[in-house]
């Protein structure tokens, strides 16, 4: 459960203004293209020079948010590649071709569908302001079910003179929205260059880092608010209607200081996310450091599903398949499966230098002497979101929070709509 993390909301949470229009960046904000782009750009550059993975990563980071051509030009400069031999157009064409074959792999960012539905249902006027050129955009969005049509106006990278961090794209988006006062617009952006561009246009900007990133870069870009994922966007703070899909759960104060139950809000996930695999060794810090054992799943095989979850704390049910020799006592040859309430964290593990998430569920059950799951099959049905990852001043406060998360998870799972999911055939390995 313990993952290093940025503060929950490091925004200067002063007085939030009232906005009427929402401008959305595309890559890394609504769709999860950043990892694919990194992979493809890395492969294209790798054969053009002797670079370390670190050098390439750093170069790509510096151009995140730029238009493809600007970004390519800047990268070749950063890497000091001879453009007589490696022309911008060649590199761009090769990257573009490879990407065009693979856009179909790209998922929406966690919370993006919910946000777009919310904006549409409330009739809030929206713009897409993307560095992607228009001829590329269609291909990129082919596998995306036409939701882009629900966005009122679109401004693409090829329509403006200067790309992000210049404000042009946002200024154009505002023009198309018919907004003359930039202070009526809030921009959602995942890159610091995008945040700079939004601020330069006069709009407000919320940064939602798509890849684990240094919080500082967003602060220096002038972000008005920094949130961990789209789940944490609170439109009511900006004078817009609030989301209505949260559910309240009542939890008794675990520290026993007050008798009054506390109310916590949880966010049901639609659809629930199923993840599973054999339990692997983690870093031993769960039970040792925190007194909270977490049965880690290897992230590689569950990448597709786990990418649908923003870093944070979740609740759901866990199905655990009994190991050989562990049986129901009736038929000694048949392994049985049982389900348990669970609370889990999913997030960036500092050990993996921001490239991989870890998935760490704590099964809320005392297994006593049978508490060794290594190698056993674990299945998780993740039903709802509790909170973003957070920083804690001390180990004690982290532990206290994890126990509170566990209470919230149990209370949530007691709600009828989640209670019934306990006997899901997925969790029972199809044995119902």
CB of 402 to ligand ADP, least distance (A): 12
Residue length of the chain: 432
CA atoms in the 13 A half-sphere facing the CB of 88: 12
Q: Is the peptide bond before 366 cis (omega within 30 degrees of 0)?
A: no
> Which residue, 182 or 275, has its beta carbon nearer to ligand ADP?
275
Residue 373 interaction partner, one of ligand ADP, Mg ion, none, beta carbon < 5-8 Å per kind: ligand ADP
Give me the DSSP letters along 362-404.
EESS--GGG---BTSEEEEEEEEEEE-----SSHHHHHHHHHH
In DSSP terms, 377 is beta-bridged to 278
CB of 43 to Mg ion, least distance (A): 33
CB of 397 to Mg ion, least distance (A): 20
Q: Does 316 bind Mg ion (CB under 5 A)?
A: no
| Contact positions with Mg ion (CB under 5 A) in 268-287 | 282, 286
Helix axes 53-63, 68-78, angle to 10 degrees: 140
Long-range contacts (CB closer than 8 Å, 24 or more residues apart) made by 325-331:
326/370
Q: What are phi and psi of 137, to 5 degrees?
A: -60, -40
> Which residue, 171 or 296, has its beta carbon nearer to Mg ion?
296
For the record, the structure tokens of 148 come out as: 């882009």
Residue 365 interaction partner, one of ligand ADP, Mg ion, none, beta carbon < 5-8 Å per kind: ligand ADP
- Residues near 80 by Cβ (< 8 Å), separated by ≥ 6? none
Residue 111: C-alpha distances to residues 31, 117, 295 (Å): 10, 10, 26
> Which residue, 3 or 33, has its beta carbon nearer to Mg ion?
3
Residue 299 interaction partner, one of Mg ion, ligand ADP, none, beta carbon < 5-8 Å per kind: none
In the list 296, 306, 337, 339, the residue contacting Mg ion (rule: CB under 5 A) is 296
Residue 363 interaction partner, one of Mg ion, ligand ADP, none, beta carbon < 5-8 Å per kind: ligand ADP
Q: Which residue is nearest to ligand ADP (CB)?
A: 286
Q: How far is CA 217 from the centre of its chain?
A: 18
For the record, the structure tokens of 295 come out as: 């049965």
> Which residue, 241 or 371, has its beta carbon nearer to ligand ADP?
371
DSSP label at residue 335: -
27 is known as an active-site residue: yes
CB of 344 to Mg ion, least distance (A): 10
CB of 362 to ligand ADP, least distance (A): 5
Q: Residues in contact with Mg ion, total (CB under 5 A)?
A: 4
> Which residue, 142 or 367, has its beta carbon nearer to ligand ADP?
367
Q: Please identify which residue in the block is written with the tokens 């769960």.
A: 286
Residue 372 interaction partner, one of ligand ADP, Mg ion, none, beta carbon < 5-8 Å per kind: ligand ADP
- Residues near 81 by Cβ (< 8 Å), separated by ≥ 6? 45, 48, 49
CB of 320 to Mg ion, least distance (A): 14
Nearest C-alpha neighbor of 182 from the set 207, 200, 196: 200
Indicate which residue of 34, 189, 360, 405 is catalytic: 360
In the list 196, 294, 339, 358, the residue contacting Mg ion (rule: CB under 5 A) is 294
With contacts defined by CB under 5 A, name the span among 80-88, 179-187, 292-300, 414-422 that binds Mg ion. 292-300
Indicate which residue of 25, 94, 168, 389 is catalytic: 25
> Which residue, 186 or 382, has its beta carbon nearer to Mg ion?
382
Alpha-carbon span 160 to 169, nearest angstrom: 6
> Which residue, 281 or 330, has its beta carbon nearer to ligand ADP?
281
The footprint of ligand ADP (CB under 6 A) covers: 279, 281-284, 286-288, 293-296, 362-363, 365, 367, 371-374
Strands (E) across 209-354 are located at 225-226, 247-251, 262-278, 312-321, 337-348
The residues of the shown chain that bind Mg ion, judged by CB under 5 A, are: 282, 286, 294, 296
**Residues annotated as catalytic (active site), given as ranges:** 25, 27, 360
């Amino acid at each position: 459960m313990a993952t290093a993390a940025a503060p929950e909301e490091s925004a200067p949470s002063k007085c939030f203004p009232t906005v009427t229009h929402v401008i959305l960046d595309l890559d890394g904000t609504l769709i999860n293209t950043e990892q694919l782009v990194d992979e493809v750009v890395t492969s294209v550059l790798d054969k053009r020079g002797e670079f370390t993975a670190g050098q390439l990563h750093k170069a790509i980071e510096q151009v995140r948010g730029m238009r493809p051509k600007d970004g390519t030009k800047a990268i070749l400069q950063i890497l000091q590649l001879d453009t007589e031999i490696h022309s911008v157009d060649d590199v761009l064409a090769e990257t573009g071709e490879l990407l065009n074959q693979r856009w179909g792999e790209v998922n929406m960012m966690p919370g993006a569908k919910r946000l777009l539905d919310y904006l549409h249902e409330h009739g809030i006027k929206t713009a897409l302001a993307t560095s992607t050129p228009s001829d590329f955009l269609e291909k990129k969005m082919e596998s995306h079910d036409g939701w882009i049509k629900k966005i009122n106006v679109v401004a693409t990278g090829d329509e403006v003179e200067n790309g992000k961090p210049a404000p042009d794209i946002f200024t154009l988006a505002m023009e198309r929205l018919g907004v003359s006062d930039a202070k009526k617009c809030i921009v959602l952006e995942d890159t610091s260059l995008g945040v700079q561009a939004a601020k330069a246009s006069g709009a407000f900007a919320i940064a939602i880092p798509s890849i684990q990133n240094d919080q500082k870069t967003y602060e220096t870009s002038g972000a008005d608010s920094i949130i961990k994922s789209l789940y944490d966007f609170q439109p009511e703070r900006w004078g817009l209607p609030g989301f209505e899909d949260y559910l309240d759960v009542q939890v008794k104060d675990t520290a026993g200081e007050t008798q009054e139950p506390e109310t916590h809000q949880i966010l049901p996930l639609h659809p629930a996310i199923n993840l599973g695999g054999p339990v692997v060794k983690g870093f031993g810090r769960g039970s040792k450091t925190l007194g909270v054992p977490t049965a880690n799943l290897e992230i590689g095989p569950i990448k597709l599903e786990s990418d649908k979850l923003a870093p944070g704390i979740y609740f759901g049910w866990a199905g655990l398949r009994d190991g050989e020799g562990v049986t129901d006592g009736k038929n000694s040859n048949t392994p049985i499966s049982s389900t348990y309430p669970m609370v889990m964290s999913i997030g960036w593990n500092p050990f993996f230098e921001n490239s991989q998430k870890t998935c760490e569920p704590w099964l809320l059950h005392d297994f006593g002497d049978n508490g060794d799951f290594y190698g056993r099959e674990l299945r998780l049905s993740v039903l709802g979101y509790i909170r973003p990852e957070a920083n804690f001043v001390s180990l004690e406060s982290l532990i206290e929070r994890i126990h509170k998360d566990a209470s919230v998870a149990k209370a949530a799972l007691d709600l009828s709509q989640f209670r019934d999911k306990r006997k899901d055939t997925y969790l029972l390995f199809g044995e119902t």
